[in-house]
Structure 1
Amino acid sequence: MPSSLDRRQLFQASATAIVVGGLNTALATSTSAAESAKGSLVQDATVLFQGDSITDAGRDRKRGNANDSRSLGHGYPVLVAGGLLKDYAGKNIKVFNRGISGHKVPDLANRWQADCIDIKPDVLSILIGVNDIWHKLNGRYDGTVETYETGYKALLEDTLEKLPNVRIAICEPFVLRCGAVGDHWFPEFTQRLEAARRVADELSLERVAFQDMFDEAIKVAPPQYWAADGVHPTLAGHTLMAETWRQTLGL
């Protein structure tokens, strides 16, 4: 049986392999990727995080300012923002968080003009989908996998039409089998995850493989270590998400 150090090393290598497409490639390109990353955000770039409570992460919605820790919440967006602001000092970048707890794809659509289009992001990150099934299981929503997929695709197509130069990252919805998440979530959750992947692929958008990432993470520590209720990440989970997000986008 491998030692704890060996397991940590294995996990770190596996997580890197997930986001860059292979362990050997990751090891060979890690240095060059790090060296080139600082040139990948333009001067005055705007980065926008969108989604539900995982992205919201307790942010102060009354403030809404760029680069403000209270406006960014305590989750992966603030961790990403801190790293970007450090690494791109002098480029005057702006990072916003507009995630709202409880939201589903139709909720994004209802507020999209003000909370996305008007902000004119250069990089748009979206994590949405877990409430589309969770609220259905709780009897508060009747949306299907099909309505999730068609609604999501329509929202993204509209975004690309209005913001033709935006770089969109589709963060795949994820769950861990603990807390609120049990067998009754499946196979529908997997079907929704596959729908998000199809939409991203059909529109040639980047995908952040959070489900694969957590599937590797639970080989090192139990599911509740990363997301106590199976949905909302712990500090460790958010940190892993932030690292994977930056590695995937090369930022």
Structure 2
Amino acid sequence: MTISLHRSATVLFQGDSITEVGRLSEPDNPLGHGYVRLAADRVRAARPDSGITFVNRGVGGDRVSDLCARWREDALDLKPDVVSVLIGVNDTWCRYRAGEVTSQRSYEDDYRALLTAVRERPDAQLVLVEPFLIPVTEEQWGWREDLDPRIHTVRRLAEEFDAALLAADGLLNQAARTAGSPERIAGDGVHPTPLGHRLLAEAWTALAGL
């Protein structure tokens, strides 16, 4: 499944800190400094006269329930032509670091509600980016018990909603093996390094045939 970036399209990126990457703390950089900025730059370089607008609404710390709470204002009201979603690792993180559990059923139900709302615009295209974890500690290997079912949920929803799927977990874990160290891809196992963001951006734009 690929996406079509037509002339003057609005492309919205939604998610947590992996998507935000400084866009809230630096008003002069509304796309942040991560994969969103890199993907937008790659598209603009390949199609300089397309008039495509890129919007970043990632918010650090967000879980899927937080996206639901702000979905109307920060997604639907923007009338995007393409909606790219990366959410889920904080639902896992909060279980192990704060004892706050998001059940797999709640995660799936909330995620499906987000996508169903987008489908109110019949021409809107969806990109689902798998949540990912590149374990750098022994403890984080245990987190996979919680995260892996969320990844499978995203894959099922991509099929259900005919969305493009970016299989980020396998991509970045393989990149860590190639690089010789997980810290080269995500220093804390969760937040990508510049190399990790570049790999995500390259994979995202590949979905658009670029």
Give me the TM-score of the superposition, normalised by structure 1: 0.78
Q: 1:181 to 1:149 in 2, by over 3 A?
A: farther
Matched, 1:77 2:36: yes
- Give the C-alpha shift of residue 196 in structure 1: 1.3
Cross-structure match for 2:202: 243
CA contact (8 A) 1:180 1:230 kept: no
- Give the C-alpha shift of residue 179 in structure 1: 4.9
Deviations along 1:38-89, one digit per CA (max 9) or x if unpaired, are xx422211111100000001113674xxxx6x11111000001111122221
Deviations along 1:8-62, one digit per CA (max 9) or x if unpaired, are xxxxxxxxxxx99xxxxxxxxxxxxxxxx9xx42221111110000000111367
Q: 1:245 to 1:215 in 2, by over 3 A?
A: same
**Higher helix residue share:** 1
Output the amino acid matched with 2:156: R
Alignment size in residue pairs: 209
Of residues 17, 41, 49, the one that matches 1:53 is 17
Runs of 4+ in structure 1 off by over 6 angstroms are: none
- Give the C-alpha shift of residue 219 in structure 1: 2.3
Instruction: Give distance in 2, aligned partners of 1:178 and 1:141.
Output: 22
Please state whether the residue corresponding to 1:121 is helix, strand or coil: coil
Root-mean-square deviation over aligned CA pairs: 2.0
- Give the C-alpha shift of residue 180 in structure 1: 8.6
Instruction: Give distance in 1, aligned partners of 2:137 and 2:54.
Output: 32
Of residues 106, 116, 121, the one that matches 2:75 is 116
- Give the C-alpha shift of residue 215 in structure 1: 2.5
Cross-structure match for 1:135: 94
- Give the C-alpha shift of residue 133 in structure 1: 1.0
Cross-structure match for 1:16: none
Output the amino acid matched with 1:148: Y
Instruction: Give distance in 2, aligned partners of 1:49 and 1:180.
Output: 32
Larger radius of gyration: 1
Cross-structure match for 2:141: 183
Instruction: Give distance in 2, aligned partners of 1:80 and 1:216.
Output: 21
Structure 2 residues not aligned, in runs of 5+: none
Matches within 5 A, 1:86-97: 86-97=45-56
- Give the C-alpha shift of residue 232 in structure 1: 0.2
Instruction: Give distance in 1, aligned partners of 2:163 and 2:51.
Output: 25
Instruction: Give distance in 2, aligned partners of 1:181 and 1:59.
Output: 30
Instruction: Give distance in 2, aligned partners of 1:117 and 1:136.
Output: 29
Instruction: Give distance in 2, aligned partners of 1:249 and 1:94.
Output: 15
